[in-house]
Chain A
Amino acid sequence: MASNRAGFVHAFDYDSVFYQPTLYTIILLLVVWEVLSLSFAQRDLPSVLHLTELTYTVVTGASEFSFVEHAWITTQRILIGFAITMLIGVPLGILMGVWRYSEYLTVPVMVLLTFPAVVWAFIFVMWFGVTEYLSMVAVIVLAVTPYVAVNIWKGAESIDENLLEMGQTFDLSTVATWKHIVVPSLLPFLFSSGRLAFALSWKLSLVAEIFGSYVGIGFVVNYYFTAVRADMILAWSLPMMFAMFAIERLLKFVEERAFQWRPNVEGTQTNIETA
């Protein structure tokens, strides 16, 4: 009896295999969802099992729209937007870091950051109309670039002055300075802003697709919104959401492994998420 009791207590230790708070919380949330779903219609709040089935039919293409087709076009838009954003944002951030008058750039960047993404979407749809890529990519680029630039800017400002001075004292060439001091200092910021930009791109492409396209996940989700089908909105957004979450976690994992030798990067604007 006594040993049983000891084992029971042991199960609550923090290093015990039974200490799985995340798992228990997920189970708790699913149970709460299930109980709530009992008192609502399936099309408003589907039960866990029904939602899983529904998501499965959506992904295998048995619903009105082809999931592969719409998800693929959305993915393309995200990737194109993301690539252009990084190509513009990173050099801009570095420029802001090394430029003497960069404090005068704070307010213009702040102004850009205050733009609600949906207004960008409205402006571009009014300019370009309903397009395959242009409006969506433009919204992503204009809304996300300021975030990337600000992050890289912080990184450029955090470069150790002493290292730069030492490089100068030892007559390091510009190429060598960049290779051995600037790039290694910026890499963690590059990684974290890349992750942020990717997560934002996915959210913004949804908003842009609702107003600016006849294909893509955003368009389909809005279609089911007008049809008042909460279950289909969930079934269509869940797979993409989990995929994006998995990618984000993977990037984070790689990042943590790669920069284990460094102390934590302070002051990165993690997620002033917008849309």
Chain B
Amino acid sequence: MALNQSKSSVFGDRSVVLRLLSIIKNNIAETVLPIAGLLVLWAVLSMYINDPGTLPGPITTFEQTYLLTTTKDAYGLTAFDHVGITFVRAMVASWVVLVLSIVLGVLMTVIRPIGDSLVNLLPLGMSIPAVVVILLSLVWFGFNETGLIFAVIVTATPYGIINMWEGAQDVDVGLLEMAHTFGLSSAAVWRHVYIPHLLPYLFGSYRYILGMVWKVTVLGEVFGLSDGLGAMFRTHFQFGNIDIVLGYLMIFIGIVLVIEYVILKPLEEYLFRWRA
């Protein structure tokens, strides 16, 4: 099976690290240069506006980021602690969403009435704004993590299911026909056709789910909690500290970019190099 093969090669191959490093290096040229360009643009803009209370420059902002990550705030937490709190919440929610998406996505493919009904209903679920779900969930469950995670799961699951289901729809019909011709059992079809086909989708879906879950988690923290990145955004928005808001924003963007470009993208390229 594809998963076992790629797993065993990950642990068996000594040049894995080198390979991953080279993929990272290739991404750097297209990553570092544009980011440097953005920073220069920002610096010029902030010098032109010339009011740190309106638009602090990149240096002021990164100084602020440094201060936030090294000193403790009123709760005795550094920025890293807040990031960690948000990260754990996002992880828990994203794994629940992933499992729900896989189960329902597979059920939609296997049991036709479920597929036919959800295909019409999921778009309705997707048109519910996350804010409304968050506010309702906080009223129902109180201002705690349960309320937050419930809201994130309700918001993100329809997108995850649709994503998995679309993946299953894309399966090579020729392969399915061949399996049928040779009288393969449906368990064998799943094992040799669907699962190898779906694994890269699973990876893609998780990236997609995580991207969404992050944002909804932060939005939920803005409304309901006293720790985590979202709560910090709200607190310093209320005090009008734009430099601290931007300082936290840099941390948020930095983490998302690291997860995307240093961890997930090279890993995906490496794991699925056997696919065209």
Residues 112-136 of B, flagged 1 when their CB comes within 8 A of A and 0 if not, give 1110111011011011111110011
By a CB distance below 8 angstroms, the chain B residues around A214 are: none
By a CB distance below 8 angstroms, the chain B residues around A273 are: 126, 130, 159, 212
> Does B54 count as interface, using CB distance less than 8 angstroms?
yes
Name the segment of B15-23, B76-84, B180-188, B251-259 touching the other chain. B251-259
Residue of A44, A118, A202, A221 touching B233 (CB-CB under 8 A):
A118
Residue of B118, B131, B140, B233 touching A210 (CB-CB under 8 A):
B131
> Does B269 count as interface, using CB distance less than 8 angstroms?
no
Prevailing SS type, chain B contact patch: helix
Residues 80-112 of A at the B interface (beta carbon under 8 Å): 103-108, 110-111
Residue of B nearest to A234 (CB): B136
> Does A26 count as interface, using CB distance less than 8 angstroms?
yes
Q: How far is the CB of A77 from chain B (nearest CB, A)?
A: 14
> Does A218 count as interface, using CB distance less than 8 angstroms?
yes
By a CB distance below 8 angstroms, the chain B residues around A218 are: 131
Q: How far is the CB of B44 from chain A (nearest CB, A)?
A: 15
Q: Please report the C-alpha to C-alpha distance between residue A209 and residue B257 in the assembled complex, in whole angstroms.
A: 29
- Asked, given contacts A118-B233, A206-B131, A207-B219, whether A25 binds B212 with beta carbons under 8 Å apart, the answer is no
> Does B35 count as interface, using CB distance less than 8 angstroms?
yes
Q: Please report the C-alpha to C-alpha distance between residue A218 and residue B214 in the assembled complex, in whole angstroms.
A: 22
Name the segment of B2-10, B99-107, B191-199, B237-245 touching the other chain. B237-245
Residue of B nearest to A248 (CB): B127
Q: Please report the C-alpha to C-alpha distance between residue A125 and residue B230 in the assembled complex, in whole angstroms.
A: 16
Q: How many A residues face the partner with a CB closer than 8 A?
A: 56
Residues 110-127 of A, flagged 1 when their CB comes within 8 A of B and 0 if not, give 110011111100110111
Q: Please report the C-alpha to C-alpha distance between residue A245 and residue B123 in the assembled complex, in whole angstroms.
A: 8
Residue of B nearest to A236 (CB): B132
By a CB distance below 8 angstroms, the chain B residues around A222 are: 135
CB atoms of A21 and B116 under 8 A apart: yes
CB atoms of B117 and A22 under 8 A apart: yes
> Does B270 count as interface, using CB distance less than 8 angstroms?
no
By a CB distance below 8 angstroms, the chain A residues around B35 are: 107-108, 111
- Asked, given contacts A21-B116, A107-B31, A275-B219, whether A115 binds B253 with beta carbons under 8 Å apart, the answer is yes
CB atoms of B253 and A111 under 8 A apart: yes
CB atoms of A25 and B117 under 8 A apart: yes
By a CB distance below 8 angstroms, the chain A residues around B242 are: 123, 126
Q: How far is the CB of B73 from chain A (nearest CB, A)?
A: 18
CB atoms of B240 and A126 under 8 A apart: yes
> Does B260 count as interface, using CB distance less than 8 angstroms?
yes
- Asked, given contacts A221-B135, A222-B135, A233-B139, whether A125 binds B237 with beta carbons under 8 Å apart, the answer is yes
Q: How far is the CB of B62 from chain A (nearest CB, A)?
A: 15
> Does B13 count as interface, using CB distance less than 8 angstroms?
no
Residues 13-41 of B, flagged 1 when their CB comes within 8 A of A and 0 if not, give 00000000000000000110111011000
Q: Please report the C-alpha to C-alpha distance between residue A203 and residue B133 in the assembled complex, in whole angstroms.
A: 11
Q: How far is the CB of A237 from chain B (nearest CB, A)?
A: 5
By a CB distance below 8 angstroms, the chain A residues around B31 are: 107
Residue of A nearest to B54 (CB): A127
By a CB distance below 8 angstroms, the chain A residues around B212 are: 272-274
> Does A228 count as interface, using CB distance less than 8 angstroms?
yes
> Does B200 count as interface, using CB distance less than 8 angstroms?
no
CB atoms of B124 and A245 under 8 A apart: yes
By a CB distance below 8 angstroms, the chain A residues around B240 are: 126
Q: Please report the C-alpha to C-alpha distance between residue A229 and residue B138 in the assembled complex, in whole angstroms.
A: 11
By a CB distance below 8 angstroms, the chain B residues around A122 are: 233-234, 237, 245
Residues 223-240 of A at the B interface (beta carbon under 8 Å): 225, 228-230, 233-234, 237
Residue of B nearest to A14 (CB): B112
Q: How far is the CB of B132 from chain A (nearest CB, A)?
A: 5
Residue of A21, A24, A45, A272 touching B140 (CB-CB under 8 A):
A45
Q: How far is the CB of A104 from chain B (nearest CB, A)?
A: 5
CB atoms of B237 and A106 under 8 A apart: no
> Does B93 count as interface, using CB distance less than 8 angstroms?
no
> Does A271 count as interface, using CB distance less than 8 angstroms?
yes
CB atoms of A103 and B237 under 8 A apart: no
Between A and B, 22 residue pairs with Cβ closer than 8 Å are: A25-B121, A44-B140, A104-B37, A106-B30, A111-B35, A111-B253, A114-B211, A116-B252, A118-B219, A119-B233, A199-B126, A202-B129, A203-B129, A206-B132, A211-B237, A221-B131, A221-B135, A225-B135, A233-B136, A245-B127, A274-B215, A275-B130
Report B's interface with A, CB cutoff 8 A.
Answer: 30-31, 33-35, 37-38, 54, 112-114, 116-118, 120-121, 123-124, 126-132, 135-136, 138-140, 159, 162, 208, 211-212, 214-216, 218-219, 222-223, 230, 233-234, 237, 240, 242, 245-246, 249, 252-253, 256-257, 260
Which 3 pairs of residues, A with B, have the shortest CB-CB distance? A21-B117, A25-B117, A122-B237
